[in-house]
Chains A and B, each alone.
Chain A
Amino acid sequence: MIDAGALLLLTFLGQQFEQRGFIENRTVAYPQTAPNDSAHVVDEMLLREEASYKFTPWFTLSGAFDARSDSHRQTVRDWVVDADDRSILRPAFSVRRLSATIHKGKITAELGRQFIRWGKADILNPTDRFAPKDYLSNVVDSDFLGVTAARLTYESGGNIVDLVWQPWFSPSRTPLLNQRWTGLPPEAAGLSLIDAGANYPGGSQYGARWNHVGSGYEFSLCFFDGRQNLPSFDAILTPPDPSIEFTRTYPKLRLYGGDAAVPLPWLTIKGEAAYFTSETPGAEEYALYVIQLERQVKEWSFVAGYAGSIVTRDAASPLQFAPDRGFAKSFVGRAGLTIDANRSLALETAVRAEGSFVRFEYSQLFGQHWRATGGLAWIRGDMADFLGQYRRNSYASLALRYSF
């Protein structure tokens, strides 16, 4: 009788519980050293587990957990679980997602740590303001970070209204000063650079987005008021030693934006634009826009476009980490080929006036669980250019993933 009850309970739990995860080892080899980094090989290990439990048809609890380590001191070596995930180094153990989703009729509410993605373009998303990224070990290939927020979505017919309130700030994670993805000119090699951490702002952020799906088109309008998740740096020179102390700060930011997608018989046009203003003295004000064309031919997919920017007020300090701006004024292209059910190829490129980047990837599934992905990235340009500053960071990579 007890066995039967346990079996029934297990069956019930099995129907409500979903999980997936993977463990991945990624090795990146850099043929060249950088002024602030002599390592040629960096190895990263990541275990990610995602699970959800549906208590009722309208209430689901979702969680995701990361455990990681690396060979290059990019991860905190501490047995502490980080719930905020906003440390300078990556946490060894972090709560990537922990949220409750409630949906009733046309309304969906999600509360807690979650992922919020806005925008329609694929090459750059100026309106994607609740999506900080982890740039620590690679600026041209980065992962998203979750945010703690309350999100309320109303969907009716072809209209979706999205309201988001983020009670505290989540920054993007930037490269470390003593590693190669902080681009330093050769003249800075003798200086002592001190990372003084970050001044995280208080206060909340909020945003709203209206998306409309029409017959043969789709567009959205959005608004955001909060902070730039990419930092500016305050630098203090401390004589007599030639050392400079850097502190991250995050200027206020207000965004007015929109995006659109129009599928046409020969190609799909997607566009996205945002205008950013700031009350923070000395902060830049600018517009970012993207126009891209997509075309699918058999097993090939092609995306090509231009990302542009217009500055309406210059920044008082040039010390900013701004990859979104760095990829602006670029022609960007992507091509993908699905060779068969197990194999695929991808090629991505960004070309600016003074810098360029090309990445090639081949990926193959072995059996039901193992996937190997090999890649080559080639970066060229002038030191003054956003991409060009990483010209010594061309790399080859190999990732081996076991999914479960």
Chain B
Amino acid sequence: MNKFFLVVALMVPAFAQDARQIMLDVQKRQHSDSQRYEGTLEVTSGNNQSTTKRWIYQRIGSFGNSKAILRFTAPAEVKGVGLLIVNHPDRASDQWMWRPAIGRDQRIALQDRSTRFFGTDFSFEDLEERDVDQYEYKLLADEGASWKIESKPRKSSQYEYSYFWVQKEHYNLVKIEAYNKKGLVRVIDYKNHELIKGIWTPRLTEVYDVTRKSRTILKYEKLEYNLPMKDEDFSLQALRRDL
């Protein structure tokens, strides 16, 4: 056996690192029973018009079995507007919107899940938490500090495929490029990772809508994991209870 074959033999396990296994590890390391943060969103449209919104996000459960309530706290005119997201392991999430001005929850009709959420660059689909098993993965490249992985959704999605960059050191997802049939749609960067309660967590997410040339920066404040939360606080009643 010459030196060349030895090198190849050692390289094969590294390149054959199973992409799904990497994503499973990412999901495991991100696992928490609950999460809460206060988010500040700065939306800058293609013509440089800026607006700032704030919301409080709370989640119970994780990935395919989670429920989340997101409620705007600013600006004043949208304060109290809430969104309940019930994620399912086998299908797209159910979502209900609460608008205080109407005084009624409304089921969100989302045939086109690429619809932007409340003028931000997040689509409704981007707010869902999907389980690893809802995608097929392929390892495309080992780029030194990170892996580049292709993901294709098994269920209906606005995206045809996406490229994920996973940092090797802590298995952090650091970047996503999402493509539809026409090409690149959205670039999401996860930045400023910090270790919070044993979970490497980005403190900033930047979403760039390629088509609209619009950008949303979400800053996470007062972020906490595994807080005691009750399932009953993630219901339609809870959605309409608060101001």
Q: List residues of chain A with CB under 8 Å of any chain B CB.
A: 18-22, 50-52, 60, 62, 101, 103, 105-106, 108, 115-117, 119-120, 122, 131, 144, 153, 155, 160, 213, 216, 218, 261, 263-268, 294-299, 301, 338, 340-342, 365, 368-369, 371, 401, 403-404
* B156 A265 Cβ-Cβ under 8 A: yes
Specify which of A60, A116, A155, A368 is in contact with B232 (CB 8 Å cutoff): A155
Contact of B104 among A22, A60, A117 (CB under 8 A): A117
13 cross-chain CB contacts under 8 A: A20-B80, A108-B241, A120-B106, A120-B107, A131-B103, A297-B112, A299-B115, A340-B212, A341-B49, A342-B45, A342-B49, A368-B52, A371-B77
User: A297: which B residues are within 8 A, CB to CB?
Assistant: 111-112
Alpha-carbon distance A115/B75, docked complex (angstroms): 23
Q: Kindly list 17 other residue pairs between chains A and B, CB separation below 8 angstroms, not including A267-B109, A368-B76.
A: A18-B79, A103-B241, A106-B232, A108-B241, A116-B103, A117-B104, A131-B103, A213-B236, A216-B91, A263-B110, A297-B111, A297-B112, A299-B116, A301-B109, A341-B118, A365-B75, A403-B75
Which chain A positions have C-beta within 8 A of B75? 365, 368-369, 403
Residues of A within 8 A of B156 (CB): 265
Instruction: Name the A residues within 8 Å of B74 (CB-CB).
Output: 368
With the chains together, A368 CA to B51 CA distance in Å? 7
Q: How many Å from the CB of B119 to the closest CB on chain A?
A: 3
Please tell me if the beta carbons of A268 and B109 are within 8 angstroms of each other in the complex: yes
Determine whether the beta carbon of B107 is less than 8 Å from that of A342: no
Tell me whether A115 and B103 are in contact (CB under 8 A). yes
Residues of chain B within 8 A of A103, CB atoms compared: 237, 241
Partner of B214, one of A116, A216, A340: A340
User: Within residues 56 to 93 of chain B, which ones have a CB less than 8 A from any CB in chain A?
Assistant: 74-77, 79-80, 91
Return the contact of A342 from the options B91, B112, B119 (Cβ within 8 A): B119
Residues of chain B lying within 8 A (CB to CB) of residue A131:
103
Please indicate the chain B residues that have their CB under 8 angstroms from the CB of A264 in the complex: 111
Contact of B243 among A62, A261, A338 (CB under 8 A): A62
Cβ of B169 within 8 Å of any chain A Cβ, yes or no, is no
B76 contacts across to A, CB distance below 8 A? 20-22, 368-369, 403-404
Q: Within the complex, what minimum Cβ distance (angstroms) separates A151 from chain B? A: 11
Query: Which residues from chain A contact B134 at a C-beta distance below 8 Å?
Result: none
Q: Please tell me if the beta carbons of A295 and B111 are within 8 angstroms of each other in the complex.
A: yes
Q: Is B7 an interface residue (CB 8 A)?
A: no
Interface residues of B in 169-219 (CB under 8 A from A): 212, 214
Most A CB contacts (10 A, CB to CB) among B53, B80, B94, B243 go to: B243
Assess whether A155 is in contact with B236, with CB atoms less than 8 Å apart.
Answer: yes
Q: 0/1 per residue, B118-161, Cβ < 8 Å to A?
A: 11100000000000000000000000000000000000100000
The 4 closest A-B pairs by CB, nearest first: A341-B119, A268-B109, A403-B76, A117-B104
Task: Please classify how large the interface on chain B is, using the bins under 10, 10 to 19, 20 to 34, 35 or more.
Answer: 35 or more
For B235, the chain A residues whose CB sits under 8 A away are 155
Write the nearest CB–CB distance from A269 to chain B, whole angstroms.
9
Residues of chain B within 8 A (CB-CB) of A153 are 237
Minimum CB–CB distance for A142 against chain B, Å: 13
Closest residue of B by beta carbon distance from A303: B109
* Contact status A108-B111, CB under 8 Å: no
**B112 partner residues in chain A, CB cutoff 8 A:** 295-298
In Å, the complex CA distance between A119 and B106 comes to: 10
- Residues from chain B with a CB closer than 8 A to the CB of A115 are 103
Tell which of B79, B111, B119 touches A20, judged by Cβ atoms closer than 8 Å: B79
Q: Is the CB of A298 within 8 A of B115?
A: yes
Q: Contact: A267 with B111, CB < 8 Å?
A: yes
CA–CA, A153 to B43, complex, Å? 38
Q: How far is the CA of A41 from the CA of B106 in the complex (A)?
A: 35
Residues of B within 8 A of A340 (CB): 45, 49, 119, 212, 214
CB distance from A343 to the nearest CB of B (A): 9
Q: Which of B111, B115, B241 contacts A265 (CB 8 A)?
A: B111
**Contact assessment for B109 and A295 in the assembled complex, using a CB-CB cutoff below 8 Å:** yes
Which A residue sits closest to B235, measured CB to CB? A155
What's the least CB distance linking B96 to chain A, in Å? 9
> What A residues does B107 contact at CB under 8 A?
120, 218, 261, 263, 268
Give every chain B residue within 8 A of A401 (Cβ-Cβ). Answer: 77
- A368 partner residues in chain B, CB cutoff 8 A: 51-52, 74-76
Smallest beta-carbon distance A54→chain B, Å? 8
Chain A residues whose CB sits within 8 angstroms of the CB of B49 once the complex forms: 340-342
Q: How far is the CB of A356 from chain B (nearest CB, A)?
A: 25
Q: Which residues of B contact A261 (CB under 8 A)?
A: 107
**Bound form: Cα–Cα A20–B74 in Å:** 10
**Cβ of B114 < 8 Å from any Cβ of A?**
yes
**Residue B102 lies at the interface, judged by CB distance under 8 Å to chain A:** yes
Residue of B nearest to A53 (CB): B243
Whether the Cβ atoms of A144 and B103 lie closer than 8 Å is: yes
Give the CA-CA distance A18 to B71 in the complex, in Å: 13
Who on chain B is nearest to A120 by CB? B107
Across the interface, A298 reaches (CB within 8 A) one of B77, B106, B114, B237, namely B114
In the complex formed, the residue of B with least CB distance to A404 is B76
A155 and B237 contact, Cβ closer than 8 Å, known pairs A106-B232, A294-B109 = yes
Minimal Cβ-Cβ distance residue in A for B41: A341
